[in-house]
Amino acid sequence: GNSVTQMEGPVTLSEEAFLTINCTYTATGYPSLFWYVQYPGEGLQLLLKATKADDKGSNKGFEATYRKETTSFHLEKGSVQVSDSAVYFCALGDGLTFGKGTHLIIQP
Amino acid sequence: DAGITQSPRHKVTETGTPVTLRCHQTENHRYMYWYRQDPGHGLRLIHYSYGVKDTDKGEVSDGYSVSRSKTEDFLLTLESATSSQTSVYFCAIRPGQDPQETQYFGPGTRLLVL
């Protein structure tokens, strides 16, 4: 069946550090891939998405590229801020399959 | 803002009592979902709906039932709450017919079963 694997954390970084959160998936076919972000006390909201192989999604300085050959969709940001502290979820486009979430903590 | 509200936002109840959570949307989207979020498990699908009176089970449906008698409301019922159902519950909608479309989530309901 479909599945998503991501590092759970917590991941603690200093402000302005480079961020990578790994996400790999198994799926039948070629689903869209998503990164959602959850700020404290809130629901999930879309951060970025990619709909086909080699597509790059980007938003708020975050990027992720749909890599079919490595079945990956790693999230990156060049310089994180304290306001990026949140939980990040990688997900398939089937509405059914989410990673367990990565708790990111950015220290000033 | 996808116009999704959840009620109540917080609830404390006792083991064995029935509990109903409500998800309301204002934009007549066909697809609605109920998830629970727990530490170490991430987000898990309980039930989903693809239209009025059309529902299906998700990964963790045991102990839960749902109803959708009108487009805008999707109700989740715990017939007899147990402590293992203490969790944060999220409703989501998905616009359109494309199964690959973005989901939009409500603010969540924190449920504590004593």
The tens digit of pLDDT for each residue in A3-60 reads: 999 988 899 999 999 999 999 999 988 899 999 999 998 999 999 999 999 999 999 9
Interchain proximity B102–A44, CB inside 8 Å: no
Tens digit of each residue's pLDDT (9 = 90 or more) over B36-81: 999 888 899 999 999 999 999 998 999 999 999 999 999 999 999 9
The stretch A82-96 carries a mean pLDDT of: 92
CB contacts of A34 in chain B (<8 Å) are 102
Chain B residue at shortest CA distance from A40: B107
Q: Are strands A86-92 and A62-65 parallel, antiparallel or unpaired?
A: unpaired
Which two tokens mark A32?
A: 């869209």
Burial class (CB in 10 A: 0-12, 13-18, 19+), A27: middle
Task: Give me the percent of chain B exceeding a pLDDT of 70.
Answer: 98
For residue B63, what are the contacts with CB-CB under 8 A and spacing of at least 6?
B78, B79, B80, B82, B85
